[in-house]
Structure 1
Amino acid sequence: MTHSPLLRSDQTLFRDPDVFELTFVPEHLHHRDAQVKELAFLISPALRGGSALSAVLRGPPGTGKTTTVRRIFREVREETKKIVPAYVNCRHDHTLLAVHRSIFTQVVGYAPPSSGRYLDEIKQGIATRLHDHDAALVVCLDDADDLIVAGTYNTLLYQILRLYEKWDVRKAGVFAVTSNLDLNLGAEADPSVWSVFHPTEITFLPYSRTEIREILADRAQQGLYPRVVPKPLLDRIAGIAAGEQDIRIGIDLLRAAVLLAEKDGRRRVTHADVTAAARAVTAPALRNRAAGLSEAERALACWIAERSHDGADMASGTVFEAAQEYLPVGKTTYHEHLNALTRAGIVDLVPQKGRGREVRLRYDAGDVAAACSSPDRTCETPNSTCEIPN
């Protein structure tokens, strides 16, 4: 058996580790040309002395929404002084004062004093700088649904979009971003906001496996030295990320696998590195998926994990029949729970010959059992019993 040459203690496999940070903005944004063109169109009136238009950016997590906005905003800063873009992470800043302080810092170039500045003074400071430079404001409210939870969504939109009514500035544009597919940010706007908001909805669909593979290859080329990650392993990482429908999982997994190889002093990533990294990287995603399930659905997932671990027949009908001893539910309820597990991305229902379907876990059986266990119910693989509520 041959071994890869070992790294010296002062060597690294990373050409540029920043490439794997979530805030990294690539030079070429793959597979988001349509969304980039739409955002550029909405901003373009401000280049001609008018006001930017507004939008709602909607799509599952890890579909490039934030990166696309950051890319557009970076180009705007490099190309013109007529538009001032301000990016606000609403998970961190969701009060009226915090959001306006963030906007002030990006518009004026320095943070307002931490004390002694009232909200109106901060808004006046923003407006004064915009007026003095005859510049239009475009604000991205990322994770804007956090503003709804905080009770500040409509007030903030009103204050930003109607800044022009109190001060002599152009009307601002707002890009509101959400990963919550059940939430309509446009419909959440009250009539006084809607009359000046009128957002265009821009959809971000999940990347395909081929698209993820291309993006990861680009990151590897920029951020790693040559031949660190063999092509078959890059394919495998892309497959895992595609299963999660989240490009961030792929980027994190790529970085984590390389770190494991580097820690071991090796010049090449191995299958074992990817396997170990995958469990660490996907565990939080699996817990989030399981958290959205009912107790009954988690119990079924736990039992499916046990059966899969034991190598039993996973045909859907066979699973239902075998489950009756432990999970006393009717066939209709069983299929409802099974469909819920599919929507949550924990299992896939793979067509078989004839009309049957195979129940196939997307994750390691032990990881599913751990994520779907509750404090009052033990569920371990192998040889454990789960009880399911009716």
Structure 2
Amino acid sequence: MADDPEEGMLSWDESVFRDEHVFEIDYVPETFAHRESEMRSLKYALRPAARGSRPLNVIARGPPGTGKTTAVQKVFGELGAQTDVRTVRVNCQVDSTRYSVFSRVFEGIFEYEPPSSGISFKKLFRQITEKLVEEDEVLVVALDDVNYLFYEGEASDTLYSLLRAHEAHSGAKIGVIVVSSDLNLDVIEDLDGRVQSVFRPEEVYFPVYDNEEIADILRERVERGFHEGVVSTEVLDEVAELTAESGDLRVGIDLLRRAGLNAEMRASRTVSIEDVEEAYEKSKYVHLSHSLQALSDSEIELLEVIARHDGERAGDVYDAFHEQTGLGYTRYSEIINKLDQLDIIDATYTNVEGRGRSRQLSLRYEPEAVLNRLEGN
């Protein structure tokens, strides 16, 4: 692929990027456009905390890549800078048990990790609440990707402990923001009755960005992340169109980064349409890659088996899984349900002649794409 000779070529120590971190998943933009009403709703709910009272609880819902995590990080940043309110964001994809959630809360309050063993949940919980009362501080905990707590059956116990903290230790003031990208999950309905009775959250919905909003957000990232002239209007329009098709802003941000790296591989000072098209073959699997990061060894093993037996009956897949791992049907069924909830597979019931109803398992992605990502390619 030849470049315009007048543009010259990148030398080994040059880059098309002004700031590559702009395209990382954890980047919090200075300008957070097109989420003004959602930000106002979050600030309204948390305003009592700034006055030393317990804030309103919140459910922030919406499809993946619609700005929920960024909104929480922005509000927490403002709250922490202007008040004495403690804020802790827990990534439930990583910390998916009650104990690990409270370990992250402990770390956020004491600024060091609790002992990895030898400390009971009861003691951990008491130390957190005693510290809050002693310092007369309000704590706001964001359970990001809370759907993972539901997948592991830990959501009700975790929320119960947070919401009832003031009963266990008089004077403890804790508010909760739950963030969910699983639109099939009814957070309230799926909680125990004991939690439903105390969890009356404000709901803040984050819709998919429209085409103009996507283009606007990506343009701002280009201006901050690339040197001037690297990404043309034509190339940016192509990225925005592919992003809109996916419905996930993270696809576009990842696509810009990969396209930039492709240009550098060619020693080009500009990103081409071909760089974008090549990068899209990987960027379109951003949601899949994100979901795979949270899987345990046995869950990964089953997914590998499904990828190699795509479309077969669940019983046949189980035989192959059991032969490989020695795990029983109960665990197998639990993993199937989780992979289905994560939208990695479809598990549908079909009628099989002579056998009654049976589940048929199929991947929502190309088997090769799943296997490549499991192998780290």
- TM bracket (short chain): 0.7 to 0.9
Indicate whether 1:30 and 2:33 are aligned.
yes
Structure 2 residue runs without a partner (length 5+): 292-305, 313-343, 345-362, 370-377
Post-superposition offset of 1:39: 0.5
Post-superposition offset of 1:265: 1.2
Where do 1:314-333 residues align within 5 Å? none
Whole-Å separation in 2 of the counterparts to 1:23 and 1:285: 15
Contact 1:286 / 1:371 at 8 angstroms: preserved in 2?
A: no
Change (3 A) 1:369 1:111: closer
The answer for the alignment partner of 2:162 in structure 1 is 160
Post-superposition offset of 1:116: 2.0
Q: 1:51-80: per-residue Cα shift (whole Å, max 9, x none)?
A: 011111111111111111111111111111
Indicate whether 1:237 and 2:226 are aligned.
no
Amino acid at match of 1:56: I
Indicate whether 1:79 and 2:74 are aligned.
no
What do you get for the CA RMSD once the two structures are aligned?
A: 2.7
Where do 1:202-281 residues align within 5 Å? 202-281=204-283
Whole-Å separation in 1 of the counterparts to 2:256 and 2:55: 38
Structure 1 residue runs without a partner (length 5+): 297-343, 345-367, 375-390
Whole-Å separation in 2 of the counterparts to 1:21 and 1:259: 13
The answer for the alignment partner of 1:92 in structure 2 is 94
Whole-Å separation in 1 of the counterparts to 2:66 and 2:8: 37
Contact 2:58 / 2:203 at 8 angstroms: preserved in 1?
A: yes
Q: 1:260-305: per-residue Cα shift (whole Å, max 9, x none)?
A: 11122111001110111111211465899xx9xx959xxxxxxxxx
The match for 2:190 among 163, 166, 188 is: 188
The match for 2:4 among 2, 12, 18 is: 2
Runs (4 or more) in structure 1 with deviation over 2 Å come to: 1-4, 168-171, 283-288, 368-374
TM-score (norm 2): 0.75
Indicate whether 1:371 and 2:360 are aligned.
no
Change (3 A) 1:286 1:101: closer
The match for 2:66 among 55, 59, 63 is: 63
- Larger C-alpha radius of gyration, 1 or 2? 1
Q: What number of residue pairs does the alignment pair up?
A: 301
Counting aligned pairs with the same residue, the percent is 36
Post-superposition offset of 1:250: 0.3
Whole-Å separation in 1 of the counterparts to 2:365 and 2:129: 53
Whole-Å separation in 2 of the counterparts to 1:373 and 1:247: 24
Contact 1:140 / 1:176 at 8 angstroms: preserved in 2?
A: yes
Q: 1:296-320: per-residue Cα shift (whole Å, max 9, x none)?
A: 9xxxxxxxxxxxxxxxxxxxxxxxx
Whole-Å separation in 1 of the counterparts to 2:110 and 2:94: 20
TM-score (norm 1): 0.72
Whole-Å separation in 2 of the counterparts to 1:42 and 1:170: 18
The answer for the alignment partner of 1:18 in structure 2 is 21
Contact 2:58 / 2:201 at 8 angstroms: preserved in 1?
A: yes
Whole-Å separation in 1 of the counterparts to 2:134 and 2:83: 15
Post-superposition offset of 1:202: 1.1
